[in-house]
Structure 1
Amino acid sequence: MRQSIQQIPLAEFLTQPNIESSPAWELIDGRAVQKPMPTLFHSRLQRNLVNYINDRTEQFEAVQELRCIVPPFSPVPDIVIISCECLPDEDGPFNGAPDWLIEIRSPDQSTLDLQNKILHCLGNGTQLAWLIDLTRQQIWVWQGDDLPIICSGADILPDNNTNLQLSVNDVMAMTGRK
């Protein structure tokens, strides 16, 4: 499947055989788009952040690359954090918007496309979103209906009341080996 120029309905997209190939395919604004292949620092950050969150909260579970069904979109955020009571007992995609999502911007990804995906999820139940920009050493944060704030350096990041007490510097340091 190549990036689609024509609109594809969600139900048709979900029947495509290769949408879970690596990297995964997403349906955004009716277009099938393959996520970029993650870099070393992107992969380390994703792994280390998921482990950090899961080690510090029992109320939520952080999961990498989980397909969400948020009609008419089917995003696959880099990290989703979902209340444990909302996680299904059966395997498969998550039906609905995650409580919190984290995207790590790859150098060849459009910030506008990532923001569009984030805003769609926020409009459908997501309470918190982070967009991590490793190149600029910044994290854009959306909470509810508020405009985004841009955090950097020692700024402590909002964390959906999980009391992580993470600064932007702490997150950026997670690109290293652990």
Structure 2
Amino acid sequence: MYFAALLARTEDGWEASDLELDDVESLSDLIDLARSAAVDDDTVVALIEQEDAWFGVVRVDGEEDPRYYVSNASMANRSSYGSMLTKELLGDEEEVDDLDDLDLDGTEDGEDEPVSAFADEDDDEDRGVAGAGSEPVPAGPLGDPRLLEDLGVGNKELMSLESDALSEIADSLGATEVLEAVR
């Protein structure tokens, strides 16, 4: 089960809104929702948590590039919303273009697919490897642990959070009451 919320910084503190993950099909959707929640292009922090297994933070500051942090990338990679973050952080976003639609592996003329000499290649996913030729997904934190530093959550503090991490982040930001109101 997921919990997700947006915290938007205002002149008077933080405003929280429940983040409907049903409306989020991609990381772009999440970023768009965060930007739409911003007050005067100020900071918005999207918080996502899956049952104390992992949490993720996405920070959006106006039109700047978003910044990301995931507490446990290998656990997050096993869930649909967490995998969006880990793929972005590992640079594993698949780009679709005309060549990707073609099967150019030498089998397009009805030949059999080549057989791999390495029997374990198909087991890459079981070993935590995101895919052929990509980086392994680490069993720990991934991303920018300093993304909340100027807001009162230092990198060491963020990296040491485990259960109830979102409440501790909200407490450090001074947003506990508004976060609990949407929880």
Give the TM-score, by structure 1 length: 0.33
Q: Larger relative contact order (C-alpha < 8 A, sep ≥ 6)?
A: 2
Which one has the bigger strand percentage? 1
Name which one, 1 or 2, has greater alpha-carbon Rg: 2
Higher fraction of helix: 2
TM-score, normalisation: structure 2: 0.32
